[in-house]
Amino acid sequence: MGQKANTSGADGRSEKRIAREVPVDIYRQDEPIRKERAWTENVSPHGARALVEQVWRPRQHVLLISPKEGVQLRGQIIYSQRLTKTRFAVGLLLFSRAEAWARA
């Protein structure tokens, strides 16, 4: 698993993204019992792109937890992109800074 930075530019991002696979649990804020185990494709201090199997709606508020990285933050789904019949990629905006990902 290599780490490749994607700095700001034409995509309008102000923080670099690091290609990094991190196991995370995503909880729906309105249904805290319901969670999904996912893997990130890339991360930044204020966001991530994760691969999921459930349908998530943009603007849906979530809790993202990664015990391995020491990350437990609230955020929201920014986009959901269908990849296959049963796989999606979601963009997550984190409301607080993920310090573990800022040092990556």
pLDDT in tens, 47-75: 999 999 999 999 999 999 998 888 899 99
CATH of the domain at 32: 2.40.10.220
Tell whether 66 is covered by a domain. yes
C-alpha dihedral over 72, 76, 78, 82, to 10 degrees?
80
pLDDT at 53: 97
pLDDT class of 12 with cuts at 50, 70, 90: low
Which of 20, 17, 21, 22 shows the shortest CA–CA distance to 5? 17
pLDDT class of 104 with cuts at 50, 70, 90: low
27 is in which domain, residue-wise?
21-102
Q: Could you tell me the CA-to-CA distances from 39 to 8, 9, 12, 14, 92 in Å, in that order?
A: 23, 25, 24, 23, 12
pLDDT at 92: 97
Q: Which amino acid is residue 4, in one-letter code?
A: K
Tell whether 75 is covered by a domain. yes
State the pairing for strand pair 17-19/47-52. Answer: unpaired
Is the pLDDT at 32 greater than 90? The verdict is no
pLDDT class of 17 with cuts at 50, 70, 90: confident
pLDDT at 34: 85
Which of 34, 24, 3, 37 shows the shortest CA–CA distance to 98? 24
Tell whether 5 is covered by a domain. no
Cα maximum dimension of the chain? 39
Which of 62, 43, 66 shows the shortest CA–CA distance to 54? 62
